Amino acid sequence: QVQLVESGGGSVQAGGSLKLSCAASEDISKSCKMAWFRQAPGKERELVSSIIKNDKNDTATYTDSVKGRFTISQDNAKNTLSLQMNSLNTDDTAVYYCAAGRLRADGGRIVCAFRFWGQGTQVTVSS
């Protein structure tokens, strides 16, 4: 069982920055993918950004609304996943969750699915 603990959330004015961190209890490089999700009140959980492990280079993905403003990074030596968030706006207000994926069998295929989740950290952006 992997424990994920997020930190770095808080309250900030629009245009400000925050850096979220996710500390993992095990070797983060074992994860086939790592990601940040968020959930705003009354809305579904949304995938914000992910790092997908590939044979050659890891691939970073971002949802359109955060492209150019958020940067995801992974420090395998420290078992930490980070999310640098710049130019925050009120739409970024949500609870942010860290997630780690593991390979599993699914209908004869091997897929990478999110298996471990953190408790979340609140980010509040005021206008």
User: Which pLDDT tens digit goes with each residue over 76-85?
Assistant: 999 999 999 9
CA distance 2 to 94: 24
Q: What is the mean pLDDT of residues 26-38?
A: 94
Q: What is the mean pLDDT of residues 24-51?
A: 95
The CA-based angle 14-86-44, given to 5 degrees, is: 75
Confidence of residue 105 (pLDDT cuts 50, 70, 90): very high
Token reading at 125: 């952006």
| Strand locations in the chain (E) | 4-7, 10-13, 18-24, 33-39, 46-52, 59-62, 70-75, 80-85, 94-106, 109-117, 121-126
Q: Is the pLDDT of residue 67 over 90?
A: yes
pLDDT at position 56, please? Answer: 81
Average pLDDT, the chain: 96
Q: Is the pLDDT of residue 29 over 90?
A: no
Q: Would you say 120 and 95 are in contact if contact means Cβ atoms under 8 Å apart?
A: yes
For 40-51, b where at least 16 C-beta lie within 10 A, e where not — what string?
A: eeeeeeeebbbb
* Beta bridge partners of residue 85, listed in sequence order: 18, 70
pLDDT at position 55, please? Answer: 78
Confidence of residue 1 (pLDDT cuts 50, 70, 90): confident
For β-strands 18-24 and 4-7, DSSP reports them as antiparallel
Lowest-pLDDT range of 9-18, 33-42, 52-61, 88-97:
52-61
